[in-house]
Structure 1
Amino acid sequence: MSVQLALSAALSGLRTTQQQAALLSHNIANATTPGYVRRDLALSASVTGGQGAGVKVDAIARKVDELLIRDARYETSRYTGQEARASALADYALVLGQPQDERSVSTLLSKLQQSFARLHDMPNDDAAQNAVVAQAVALTQGLNNAAEAARTVETDARNRLQNSVDTVNASLQRIGELNGAIASLDAKGGDTGDLRDERDRLLDTVSEEIGIRTYSRDDGQVVVMTRNGQTLLDGQLDPGEKPLTIVGNDLMANGSRLVWLGSGTPPTGTNPSPDTEIQTGRIMGYVQTVKQDMPRALAQLDELAAGIVQRFRSAETDPDMTKPGLFTDNGAAYTTTAGLASRIAVNNLVRTESWRVQSGVLALAALPAGDQTQIERFSAAFTATTGAFAPGLDLPTAATTLGDYATAMVSVQQGYRTTAESEMNSRKISADTLQSARLNRDGVNIDDEMQKLLLIEQSYGASAQVVQVAGRMIDILLQIKG
């Protein structure tokens, strides 16, 4: 090898180690930057005229494990979806309480039964009569509050759903912009690492909100789809364009319905199942809250309220069912179950004349002192098993007392909550494990980078030594020629 080639090789080594040192410094500086992927220089031998001429830099390599990223996003998306649902169920269960809690509907119903038992022993005692009225009012307020809580949770889920949709749209808009920038820079041979990092962070954000699949085109642009294949982004978006929208009760993806958010069957077409159309992400959790969890909770409350109204009305001796009994539908007689838990109230006749809990709400006059007939009829309403409850609510449907139904309702709601929280915790473990694996694989390990920096320092010193030796050799040659 000639002195010139030796000098050229050494100089290429100096330039390469300078670039490596700069890149390692960039890695170390971004070690704690979320979503940053470690960079390496892709090197190859430089050959001139068939002879080795040092080293050259081919590219700045940003190597990621796409399969690991896909799995990590999927598990994180499953976790965020379950987290959103578990949070909503917990909010409702907090108001509903445990079966043994003072505020729970089952406890309030049991206390009303106890107050009638005390009244049976003291049928003409004003305090005992007023206690029955007070407990009846507390029971209706408990049902009202539980129904209000369910509707509040549902409304909150709808609002959060809209926020998630806005987050997805904003992220996709920026991802589209990055697609264009990456494709342009790639064509010029520039470094797109930082742009790809930002795009991956945004894709992580989108996947937390809604389950997605992605694939990259040859020009570096990424295509984003829902997990069932509905395209959300292909290339770039026009300014203000929104791939996800909520129109009325329709959650739409580029004009196609993903989920019908209303009750019953959508006006046209087939109602897609959230389990197949939106499989993961917070949006799935909010959709399940809006479509399944809170409507079911309200239906359970309405069934219990209807059972209370009807069974206590049947306990009256007056056969005219068009007249309201002890419990009313907002002051009127029972007509429909839907929404009844919000409207159930104690008959104003009883609230102003407490003697009616001893003689009958519809009685024309008080029964003789000590007459327990009507009290016994009211007490029998608690133990009656006639009148089936509606099916499909995960609760008993027939041969069930009001107390058993109320206890089962509270217990099953707490069961929904604990199951959701257990699944959420399980999915969090999976998500954290894969995110840690992703960070270890693609992130920056400062100890490794520092070790590489020491090697670069040695390489730089060696190349500099070669330059010095080559320089002295050239000086000697010039002296000889002189």
Structure 2
Amino acid sequence: MSISLALSTSQSGFAALGTRAEVTSTNISNADRPGYVRRDVELATGPANTGVGTNAISREVDRALQSREWTSVASAGYHAGMSQSLSYFANQLGEPGSLSALPALVSGLQSELDLLSVNPDDAIVQASVLRRAESLVGGISDAAGAIYTTSQRSVDAINSMVGEVNSLTTQIADLNVRISASDPGTSELASLQDQQDAAIGALAEMVDVKLVNRGQAGIDIILPSGASLVEGSSAIAVSFDRSTETLRAGDIDITPGRPGTRGISSGALAAEVELYTIILPQAQSQLDAFAGALITTFEGADLSLAPGQAGLFTDAGMAFDPARQDGLANRIAINPVVDPAQGGELSRLRDGMGAVSPRALADSTQVTAFTDAMSEQHSFDPTLGLGGNVTLSGFAANFVTAPNLTSVEAARQAESAQSAVLAVQAERSVREGVNIDTEIQQLLAIEQAFAANSQVISALTRMMDDLLEAV
């Protein structure tokens, strides 16, 4: 080996040691930064198979652990989002024990009818029964309003998250371009990959993502169903069509819970779409069924009605029509024939809504029929999820408590998922994080190598001087 080649080899060693020192000091200074992944220098043989060079600055990422963390983050996001939204809905409906909640309103009407059956001609009690019936109608209307308000809140949340998802996927795609153009031998590539992982972590809170690593060409992001969100430098836009209640990634239907689709099933966005497209419509169906049962209960118990006549509770003034049950909770009203404010007569609570002549003042036959009917069980559609055979009061109680119970269970599952996130993060910190003691030892080794290279340079310099003197 010539002296000049030996000098060149030592100089390459100094350059490699400088890069190693830079990376090691970067590791130490970022040791406490959340999400920072330890860097390492990949050494290679220098030009012309002499000396040493740096091939790349790598990040010590455990992709399997990273994938587990993102899956746990998506699960926590789904359950936390579901818990928060259902808790909001439950608060809108009112506490189960509240006097303004549906179960208390049903019980209140039943209690007043019991009092009226003792003295059916008491105008004060009759007026109280009417007020209780009006309160019950108002409670049903308020519950329908709670469904509408929660739906509006849900749509706003969906639109906000769709915008955030699209912003993050665009950012990830842009970073793919910058990563592809970056020099692997510099710290820029690792920094860009840090930014990309942070964006993917934020995306995982809303949708459960899978990563296809293409090396320095970047990454692709796909959903568990196979639909793509990022393909190289292209981001596939996510959209939500409120009119069809459809969530799409590009042209692919990814609506959660919809048969025959490639729907998402985890993340906060999945929870909110599921709430809007499945849970709240079912709650509306439950409330419509309750309103229908209330109307038919009093129609069936009213001994004075002819076929097609409306009872105490009506569908916007008309008798119940099973073909018009959708939205019935928004239309239920008190029959005006019993309301003095609308020209009606309170005595019809004793006589019946369709009575052509009054009953005897002490005749409680009709009132007793009303009270007995309210205590009977009704056959509800079991697919509504609140019981197939249950009383009006029982169905109302189930309707109010169901969101609370589901919210509590979702909160428990969110807490469990968050614990899984913390456990994976702790494991990643051990495997990928910075150990200060190890880095200090690395610095000492670099220092020793630097001193050795310095000795080589000094020896070569003396040799050069000796040769020049000899000449």
Q: Structure 2 length normalisation: TM-score?
A: 0.85
Amino acid at match of 1:307: A
> Among the aligned pairs, what percent are the same residue?
29
Is residue 2:145 matched to residue 1:163?
A: no
What is the CA–CA distance in structure 1 between the aligned matches of 2:256 and 2:217, rounded to whole Å?
35
Contact 1:258/1:272 (8 A) holds in 2: no
Deviation of 1:376 (Å): 0.8
Provide closer, same or farther for how the CA distance between residues 189 and 475 of structure 1 changes in structure 2, counting only shifts above 3 A. Answer: closer
Aligned residue for 2:100? 103
Residue 237 (structure 2) pairs with residue 243 (structure 1): yes
Alignment of 1:299-378 (within 5 A): 299-335=285-321, 336-352=324-340, 353-364=345-356, 366-378=358-370
Go from structure 1 to structure 2 and tell me whether the alpha carbon gap of 1:190 and 1:472 turns closer, same or farther (over 3 Å shift).
closer
* Aligned residue in 1 for 2:250: 254
How has the CA–CA distance of structure 1 residues 66 and 369 changed in structure 2, closer, same or farther, with 3 Å as cutoff?
same
Q: Hey, what does 1:41 align to over in structure 2?
A: 41
CA RMSD of aligned residues (A): 3.4
TM-aligned CA distance change 1:162 to 1:122, over 3 Å = same
Mapped partners of 1:393, 1:19: distance in 2: 66
**C-alpha displacement of 1:379:** 0.7
Equivalent residue, structure 1, for 2:384? 393
2:253 is paired with a residue whose SS is strand
Shift of residue 167, structure 1, vs aligned partner:
1.6
**Separation (CA, whole Å) in 2 of partners of 1:83 and 1:200:** 22
Please name the residue that 1:73 is paired with. 70
The residue number in structure 1 matching 2:140 is 143
| Distance in 2 (alpha carbons) for counterparts of 1:70 and 1:49 | 39
Q: Could you report, residue by residue, the CA deviation over 1:47-76 in whole angstroms, capped at 9, with x for unpaired residues?
A: 9888xx5x5433212221111111111121
Match of 2:407 in 1: 417
Structure 2 unaligned segments of length 5 or more: list them: none
Q: What displacement does 1:308 show?
A: 0.7
| Preserved contact between residue 305 and residue 311 of structure 2 (Cα < 8 Å) | no
Superposed CA deviations along residues 405-450 of structure 1, whole A, max 9, x for unmatched, are: 2233334443322332222222222222223323443344556545
- Supply the distance in 2 between the matched residues of 1:221 and 1:105 (Cα, whole angstroms): 56
- Is there any run of 5+ residues in structure 1 with no aligned partner, and where? 262-270
1:152 maps onto 2:149 in alignment: yes
The aligned counterpart of 1:264 is none
Deviates more, 1:445-454 or 1:96-105: 445-454
**TM-superposed deviation, 1:452:** 4.1
Q: Indicate yes or no: 2:116 matched with 1:119.
A: yes
Amino acid of the residue matched to residue 300 of structure 1? Q
**SS of corresponding position for 1:214:** strand
Deviates more, 1:426-435 or 1:403-412: 403-412
Amino acid of the structure 2 residue aligned with 1:22: E
Tell which deviates more after alignment, 299-308 or 173-182.
173-182
- Which of the residues 202, 207, 217 maps onto 1:205? 202
Q: 1:167/1:334 Cα in 2 relative to 1: closer, same or farther (>3 Å)?
A: same
Match of 2:169 among 162, 168, 172: 172
Judge conservation of contact 2:42–2:57 (CA < 8 Å) in 1.
yes
- Counterparts of 2:183 and 2:227 in 1: how far apart (Å)? 28
Give the superposition deviation at 1:20: 2.9
Deviation at 1:37, TM superposition (A): 2.3
Distance in structure 1 (CA, Å) of the matches to 2:449 and 2:138 = 80
Which SS does the other structure have where 1:61 is aligned? strand
Relative to 1, partners in 2 of residues 1:473 and 1:273: Cα closer, same or farther, differing over 3 Å? same
- Are the counterparts in 1 of residues 28 and 439 from structure 2 also a CA contact under 8 Å? yes
SS in 2 for 1:64: coil
